[in-house]
Amino acid sequence: MISVTLNEVRRGFYLDSVALMRVARLLLERPGIEEAALMMGTPANRDLMRNAGILSDDGARADPNDLVIAVRAVSHSAAEVALAEAVSHLDRPKVQSKNEAWRPKTLRQAIKIAPEANLALISVPGNYAIAEARKAIGRGLHAMIFSDNVPVEAERALKEEARSKGLLVMGPDCGTAIIGGVPLAFANAVPSGDIAIIGASGTGIQEVSCLIEQHGGGISHAIGVGGRDLSAEVGGITTLMAMDLLDTDQATKRIVIISKPPSEEVAQRVIARIAESPKSYTVCFIGSGEQSLPHNATAVSTLKNAAMRALEVEKDQSVSPEVCSIGGRSVVGLFSGGTLCAEAQIVFLEGGEAVKSNAPVANTGVTASSGHCFLDLGSDEYTQGRPHPMIDPGVRDGPLTAALQDPAVGAVLLDIVIGYGAHSDPAGHLVRQIAALDWIDTRLIASVTGTDGDPQICSSQEATLRNAGVTVLPSNADAAAYALACLSAVA
DSSP code string of 118-143: -EEEE-S-HHHHHHHHHHHHHTT-EE
Q: Is 166 left (phi over 0), alpha (psi -120 to 50) or beta?
A: left
- Domain match, 351 and 245 both: no
For residue 323, is it within any domain?
no
Three-state DSSP class for residue 169: strand
Kindly provide the b/e burial profile for residues 32-43, where b requires at least 16 CB atoms within 10 angstroms of the residue's own CB.
ebbbbbbbbbbe
- Domain match, 137 and 267 both: yes
* End residue of a domain, out of 91, 125, 157: 91
Q: What is the pLDDT of residue 386?
A: 67
Q: What is the pLDDT of residue 128?
A: 82
> Cis before residue 474, ω within 30 degrees of 0?
no
Rounded Cα–Cα distance for residues 14 and 264 (Å): 39
| List of residues 6+ apart from 317 with CB closer than 8 A | none
- Domain match, 142 and 268 both: yes
- Domain match, 72 and 168 both: no
- Domain match, 466 and 365 both: yes
At 341, give phi and psi (nearest 5°): -60, -45
- Domain match, 273 and 369 both: no
For the chain, what is the domain count? Answer: 3
Q: CATH no. for residue 142?
A: 3.40.50.261
Q: What is the pLDDT of residue 366?
A: 47
For residue 351, is it within any domain?
yes
Task: Please list the ranges in the chain whose pLDDT falls under 50.
Answer: 365-368
- Domain match, 307 and 340 both: no
Q: Taking the CB of residue 174, how many other CB atoms lie within 10 A of it?
A: 30
Q: Which domain holds residue 474?
A: 330-488
DSSP letter assigned to residue 323: P
- Domain match, 354 and 293 both: no
- Domain match, 84 and 200 both: no
Q: Is 65 exposed, middle or buried (0-12, 13-18, 19+ CB in 10 A)?
A: middle
pTM across the whole model = 0.87
- Domain match, 142 and 223 both: yes
Would the CA dihedral through 342, 348, 350, 356 be positive or negative?
negative
